[in-house]
């Protein structure tokens, strides 16, 4: 019987594909370069500090930096070969332009894998949604799903992620970010997604783009790279829904909407709080209904889960696996990770949202803080960047979600946060749960001292949120690294 079962094991065409990531011959063929030696690599890296044993190091050249200066360091760290534009005394592929070679290798990886590719962008939530889609598809494909790591979502990170995609991948999930119009157009043409997801439109990067409509148009560039017959997944509740739908249809995409709106293709029917702080969600997908748990707390994750379900279904993934993945997901570092930290008499909760911030995400996380059971609620808020002339008003307007969430104490960090500090000062802080309880700081180190001076108590819930450049990750590391 065992012999018969082995004979009946399903055959997959991918089984004939190589297990190694790239051989010297394949890299040379993809890039048009010349190989100095015969070798095989198990990874691709552009930063010599991140190189691990078996990696191919790509010596990229920028305006201020030349990767060729770090080739020796890359080999010290375990590189087995490099892509270079000049001969070196290490195994290498010699090409005319290393950036063009990386792009060529990325395109070769895309073409050989036959993976269903999902592109994800949006003003808020793209990294979390990307991770959730990956978790769902990786579970059902038994490890044959590839994704962008960290926030590798720019003109270097996206082709690098593609170049790392194994030939046997069944799915690939790629995050795409932008600061200016035209950037996503380039990225989506690298990925050529079968499914393109826009999470939401909000005034992130409005300094460079000028209006939310322009932001919507820039995000909608993702549809320009869709493969024929591709699916565009768009937020039904967005005021820019019609604009996004029109953009998708210009590229002959099938549109699938998600949200609370009556017309949404993946529509929220009900969401109730669950015991672990997440939600129990019921959604209507038109021909079926789903009930699943979302471990991540917050209204925004209820909506995110609908986008995940829409993407998984469009990619041909398993919805049951998607539900299990959403139920098991934990917060990401800098994007919702929760730490139990020592406090006199017990523990306090520290919520790490230190990686990014814009007006929409700031309001969403403050709303969630207001719903978090706690003796006191404390917000450490860093400046929101890339808002340009809109910055003073967007920062000052944060007084509304602070009041609605009944925040007891606010520590504001960064120059732009002075606008909010002035608004609080006008009222003497009486709008907060603890009158007069707020402080403004210039640096994370000052904020650490201010939080220490205020005093963390057992049962406190502390939200730390700001743009990454403010450096509030240092505050998170300081308090989460303390011994109990």
The CATH number given to whatever domain includes residue 364 is 3.90.190.20
Q: What percent of the chain has pLDDT over 70?
A: 93
pLDDT computed for residue 333 by the predictor = 77
Domain boundary among 279, 295, 328: 328
CA distance between the termini of the chain:
56
- Binned at pLDDT 50, 70 and 90, residue 7 comes out as low
142 in the same domain as 26: no
The β-bridge partners of 293 are 280
- The dihedrals phi and psi of 175, each to the nearest 5 degrees, come to -90, 140
Residue 443 located in a structural domain: yes
Residue 403 located in a structural domain: yes
120 in the same domain as 36: no
Could you give the number of structural domains in the chain? 3
For 443, residues 6+ apart whose C-beta sits below 8 A from its C-beta are 413, 471
342 in the same domain as 323: no
Higher pLDDT, 10 or 95: 95
191 in the same domain as 76: no
Say which range, 102-116, 363-377, 419-433, has the weakest mean pLDDT. 419-433
pLDDT computed for residue 483 by the predictor = 46
469 in the same domain as 343: yes
- Residues 350/379, Cβ–Cβ less than 8 Å: no
> What angle is formed at CA 73 by the lines to CA 69 and CA 74, rounded to 5 degrees?
95
143 in the same domain as 77: no
- Residues 195/233, Cβ–Cβ less than 8 Å: yes
Residue 1 located in a structural domain: no
pLDDT of 297 over the 50 cut: yes
Residue 107 located in a structural domain: no
323 in the same domain as 343: no
Q: Which domain holds residue 75?
A: 19-96
Residue 161 located in a structural domain: yes
Say which range, 24-28, 124-128, 156-160, 308-312, has the weakest mean pLDDT. 124-128
pLDDT computed for residue 129 by the predictor = 95
Q: What percent of the chain has pLDDT over 90?
A: 76
396 in the same domain as 324: no
Residue 13 located in a structural domain: no
Task: CATH number of the domain at 24, please.
Answer: 3.40.1390.10
pLDDT in tens, 198-251: 999 987 767 777 899 999 999 999 999 999 999 999 999 999 999 999 999 999
Task: CATH number of the domain at 280, please.
Answer: 3.40.1190.10
pLDDT of 465 over the 80 cut: yes
Residue 218 located in a structural domain: yes
pLDDT computed for residue 4 by the predictor = 59
- Binned at pLDDT 50, 70 and 90, residue 484 comes out as very low
**In angstroms, rounded to a whole number, what is the distance separating the alpha carbons of residues 420 and 440?**
9
68 in the same domain as 215: no
147 in the same domain as 87: no
Region 137-150: mean pLDDT is: 93
What is the side-by-side order of every strand in the sheet holding 43-45? 34-35, 92-94, 81-84, 55-58, 43-45
133 in the same domain as 57: no
Q: For residues 176-189, b (16+ Cβ closer than 10 Å) or e, as one string?
A: bbbeebebbbbbbe
pLDDT in tens, 89-121: 999 999 999 999 999 999 999 999 999 999 999
- Binned at pLDDT 50, 70 and 90, residue 62 comes out as confident
3-state secondary structure the chain: CHHHHHHCCCCCHHHHCCCCCEEHHHHHHHHCCEECCCCEECEEECCHHHCCCCEEEECCECCCCEHHHHHHHHHHCCCCEEEECCCCCCCEEECCCHHHHHHHHHHHHHHHHCCEEEEEECCCCHHHHHHHHHHHHHHHHCCCEEECCCCCCCCCHHHHHHHCCCCCCCEEEEECCCCCCCHHHHHHHHHCCCEEEECCCCCCCHHHHCCHHHHHHHHHHHHHHCCCCCEEEEECCCCCHHHHHHHHHHCCCEEEEEECCCCCCEEEEEEEECCCCCEEEEEECCCCEEEEEECCCCHHHHHHHHHHHHHHHHHCCCHHHHHHHHHHCCCECCEEEEEEEEECCEEEEEEEECCCCCHHHHHHHHHHHHHCCCCEEEEEEECCCCCHHHHHHHHHCCHHHHHHCCCCEEEEECHHHHHHHHHHHHCCCCCCCCCCCEEEECCHHHHHHHHHHHCCCCCEEEEEECCHHHCCHHHHHHHHCCCC
Residue 10 located in a structural domain: no
pLDDT computed for residue 429 by the predictor = 54
pLDDT computed for residue 308 by the predictor = 98
Domain boundary among 328, 360, 389: 328
Model pTM? 0.81
pLDDT computed for residue 329 by the predictor = 86
pLDDT computed for residue 208 by the predictor = 72
pLDDT computed for residue 419 by the predictor = 93
pLDDT computed for residue 17 by the predictor = 60
Bridge pairing between strands 266-273 and 279-284: antiparallel
- Residues 341/479, Cβ–Cβ less than 8 Å: yes
pLDDT in tens, 375-418: 999 999 999 998 888 899 999 999 999 989 989 999 999 999 99
Please provide the average confidence, as pLDDT, over all residues in the chain: 91
pLDDT computed for residue 335 by the predictor = 77
Domain boundary among 296, 328, 360: 328
**In angstroms, rounded to a whole number, what is the distance separating the alpha carbons of residues 155 and 184?**
9
pLDDT computed for residue 12 by the predictor = 65
433 in the same domain as 473: yes
């Amino acid at each position: 019987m065992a012999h018969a079962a082995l004979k009946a094991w399903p055959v997959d065409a991918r089984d004939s594909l190589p297990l190694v990531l790239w051989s010297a011959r394949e890299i040379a063929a993809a890039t048009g370069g010349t190989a100095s030696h015969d070798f095989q690599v198990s990874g691709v890296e552009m930063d010599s500090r991140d190189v691990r044993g078996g990696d191919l190091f790509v010596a990229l050249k920028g305006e201020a930096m030349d990767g060729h200066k770090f080739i020796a360091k890359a080999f010290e760290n375990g590189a087995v070969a490099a892509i270079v534009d000049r001969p070196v005394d290490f195994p290498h592929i010699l090409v005319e332009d290393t950036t063009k070679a990386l792009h060529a290798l990325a395109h070769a990886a895309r073409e050989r894998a036959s993976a269903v590719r999902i592109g994800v962008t949006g003003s808020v939530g793209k990294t979390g949604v990307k991770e959730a889609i990956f978790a769902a598809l990786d579970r059902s494909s038994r490890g044959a799903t590839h994704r962008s790591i960290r926030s590798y979502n720019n003109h270097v990170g996206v082709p690098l992620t593609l170049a790392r995609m194994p030939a046997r991948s069944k799915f690939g999930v790629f995050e795409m970010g932008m600061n200016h119009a035209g950037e996503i157009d380039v990225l989506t043409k690298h990925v050529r997604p079968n499914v393109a997801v826009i999470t939401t439109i909000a005034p992130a990067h409005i300094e460079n783009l000028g209006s939310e409509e322009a932001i919507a148009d820039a995000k909608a560039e993702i549809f320009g790279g869709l493969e024929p017959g591709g699916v565009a997944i768009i937020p039904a509740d967005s005021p820019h829904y019609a604009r996004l739908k029109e953009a998708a249809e210009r590229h002959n995409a099938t549109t699938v909407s998600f949200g609370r709106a009556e017309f949404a293709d993946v529509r929220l029917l009900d969401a109730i709080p669950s015991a672990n702080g997440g939600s129990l969600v019921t959604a209507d997908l038109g021909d079926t209904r789903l009930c699943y748990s979302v471990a991540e707390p917050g209204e925004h994750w209820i909506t995110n889960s609908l986008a995940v379900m829409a993407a998984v279904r469009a990619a041909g993934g398993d919805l049951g696996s998607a539900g299990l993945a959403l139920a098991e997901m934990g917060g990401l570092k800098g994007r919702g990770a929760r730490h139990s930290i020592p406090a006199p008499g017990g523990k306090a909760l520290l919520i790490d949202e230190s990686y990014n911030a814009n007006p929409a995400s700031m309001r969403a996380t403050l709303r969630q803080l207001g719903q978090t059971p706690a003796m006191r609620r404390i917000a450490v808020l860093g400046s929101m960047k890339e808002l340009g002339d809109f910055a003073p008003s967007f920062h000052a307007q944060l007084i509304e979600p602070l009041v609605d969430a009944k925040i007891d104490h606010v520590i504001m960090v960064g120059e732009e946060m002075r606008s909010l500090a002035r608004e609080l000062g006008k009222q003497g802080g009486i709008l907060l749960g603890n009158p007069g309880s707020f402080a403004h700081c210039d640096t994370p180190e000052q904020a650490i001292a201010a939080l220490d001076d205020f005093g963390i108590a057992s049962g406190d819930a502390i939200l730390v949120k700001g743009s990454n450049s403010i450096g509030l990750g240092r505050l998170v590391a300081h308090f989460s690294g303390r011994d109990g």
